[in-house]
Amino acid sequence: MAKTISAPRGTRDLLPEETAAWSHVEAVARDLSRRYALERIEIPLFERVELFARGLGESSDAVEKEMFRVAGAKGSEEEAAPWALRPEPTAGIARAFIEHGMHVRPGPLRLTMIGPMFRYDRPQAGRYRQFVQWDVEVIGDAGPAVDAELIELGHRFYAEAGLRDVVARINSIGDSTCRPAYRDALIAYFSEHAGRLGPDSARRLHVNPLRVLDDKTLPDDLAAGAPRGIDHLCDACREHFDGLRGLLDALGVRYEVDHRLVRGLDYYTRTAFEYYVAGREGQQQALGGGGRYDGLIELLGGRPTPGIGFGLGLDRTILALEEAGWTPPAGQALVAVLGAGDDHGRRLAIAAELRATGIAVRPDGSTRKLGKQIESAAKAGAAWALIVGEDGALALRDLERGEQRDSVTLGEVRAAISG
């Protein structure tokens, strides 16, 4: 017997019984996208490595350690081409914004997508090498109001998905005006404690000292004593952050200021935020997060254009729902069309007619005995069995109650199912 082949490590198959939760959270995201006037965009699954290196930062984990690089076919011109599967979507959306001249459109642009991302990370609970994010980007608005709107949108997503106790953690990491002084303060502080830094932080200290704060192995006391970005903000950044907090208070969004929150990508400026289940911040990864990236589009060759966005992990959302004991809402009742005879065409015609009215139907095309068909329908989750007799007459059986009505019309079937 040939050896079986398993899914790649860090990936998984979603089996039919697992997809109800996925359909639920995706439906919430798509409905909120409509209600918040977001337009759908799609970008390639892979881009040039240079895009991610310039946008995310050479020293970021996503570029330095977690990049899935892609080669072309052997012998082709692109065999050694520097492509990579996307670790996140913002850089690709910024590239599309520039490439297609989207700056001429009425702004700000409000964009959204749902799709897989890829990072070669150590697999663990809630962390996969292929994972799915709901992404939202607003490009062209520099004010704090859009920051508050997006943070409130993420908070609403978790609430409507079924997580009622989510808190947003926020911070401001300044901009090109005030961040250099903050960087110098971090370098000076951590240099005094260099012997307590891990190898990654020691190597990155003079390249991107903010990343040291993002190091999960950093001792708590060392992190607590580090200079705070909020104490080094320029007047404009402080005004922006104060405005954001006032708006979140007015919206009633639950949030906390986290001075250690810097996010892991170099393109962030000013606002940074993440979502956690309250009281469990130290027990799991963030459910999702995002921030402002006012310099990214210019960095990639476009005109100076402000932007802000978030990526919410659907895998982690579903895991948190399951841990909270959430169960998927009941779906539409399924009708099984069965037959005592062998007139399969009649069964399919009835199934097609019911489907045309919006009813979910599972026809049985077998020649098994009727009892076996009914048993199979019940196991498949059907609530009703519509039985086509050898004479063409219809009978409707409620599979849960075991009650049956004979000689029914399709109109009566529709009324019974919808009632």
Q: What is the pLDDT of residues 110-124, one digit of tens each?
A: 999 999 999 887 777
Judge whether residue 162 has pLDDT over 90. yes
pLDDT of res. 283: 45
Burial track 116-131 (b if 16+ CB lie within 10 A, e otherwise): ebbbbbeeeebbbbbb
| 132: Cα within 13 Å, side-chain hemisphere | 16
Judge whether residue 390 has pLDDT over 70. yes
Judge whether residue 103 has pLDDT over 90. yes
pLDDT of res. 126: 67
Tell me, yes or no, whether 366 and 266 share the same domain. no
Give the whole-angstrom CA distance, residue 71 versus residue 229.
Answer: 41
pLDDT of res. 164: 85
pLDDT of res. 346: 87
Helices (H), 210-283: 210-213, 220-224, 235-251
Tell me, yes or no, whether 340 and 309 share the same domain. no
Give the whole-angstrom CA distance, residue 337 versus residue 366.
Answer: 11
Tell me, yes or no, whether 237 and 361 share the same domain. no
Tell me, yes or no, whether 287 and 390 share the same domain. no
Tell me, yes or no, whether 252 and 292 share the same domain. yes
Which of 279, 295, 323 is the C-terminal boundary of a domain? 323
DSSP, residue by residue, 129-193: SEEEEEEEEEES--SHHHHHHHHHHHHHHHHHHT---EEEEEEE---TTTHHHHHHHHHHHHHHT
Residues in CB range of 174: below 8 A, 6 or more apart: 182, 229, 232, 233, 234, 237, 269, 270
Percent of the chain with pLDDT over 90: 47
Angstrom distances, CA of residue 401 to CA of 329, 330, 331: 21, 18, 18
Tell me, yes or no, whether 58 and 157 share the same domain. yes
Q: Is residue 316 part of a domain?
A: yes
Tell me, yes or no, whether 413 and 286 share the same domain. no
Tell me, yes or no, whether 100 and 248 share the same domain. yes
- Answer for the pair 376, 365: CB distance below 8 angstroms, yes or no: no
Is the bond preceding residue 108 a cis peptide, omega within 30 degrees? yes
SS3 content of the chain, % helix, strand, coil (to 5): 40, 20, 40
Is residue 40 classed as helix, strand or coil in its secondary structure? strand
CATH code at position 316:
3.30.930.10
Judge whether residue 51 has pLDDT over 80. yes
Q: Is residue 187 part of a domain?
A: no
Tell me, yes or no, whether 338 and 312 share the same domain. no
CATH code at position 377:
3.40.50.800
Burial of 77 (0-12, 13-18, 19+ CB in 10 A): exposed
pLDDT of res. 69: 84
Band (380; pLDDT cuts 50, 70, 90): confident
Q: Is residue 355 part of a domain?
A: yes
Judge whether residue 327 has pLDDT over 50. yes
Helices (H), 36-85: 49-56, 61-64
Q: Is residue 284 part of a domain?
A: yes
Q: Hey, what amino acid is at 260?
A: R
Judge whether residue 323 has pLDDT over 70. yes
Quote the number of domains for the chain: 2
Strand partners, 339: 388
pLDDT of res. 263: 72
Strand order in the sheet with 83-85: 46-48, 83-85, 69-70
Secondary structure of 78-113 as H, E, C letters: CCCCCEEECCCCHHHHHHHHHHCCHHHCCCCEEEEE
Tokens of 86: 């996307």
Give the whole-angstrom CA distance, residue 318 versus residue 321.
Answer: 5
Tell me, yes or no, whether 287 and 149 share the same domain. yes
Give the whole-angstrom CA distance, residue 31 versus residue 344.
Answer: 39
Nearest to 170 by CA among 227, 223, 246: 246
- Look over the chain and give the mean of its residue pLDDT values, rounded to a whole number: 88
Tell me, yes or no, whether 283 and 395 share the same domain. no
Q: Is residue 202 part of a domain?
A: no
Q: What is the DSSP letter of 368?
A: S
Q: Is residue 203 part of a domain?
A: no
- The string of pLDDT tens digits covering residues 227-242 is 898 899 999 999 999 9
Tell me, yes or no, whether 60 and 140 share the same domain. yes
Residue with the larger pLDDT of the pair 271 and 192? 271
Q: Is residue 207 part of a domain?
A: no
Q: What is the residue range of 354's domain?
A: 334-418
The pTM of this model reads: 0.87
Residues in CB range of 344: below 8 A, 6 or more apart: 365
Q: Is residue 328 part of a domain?
A: no
pLDDT of res. 34: 97
Q: Which H or E run includes 75?
A: none
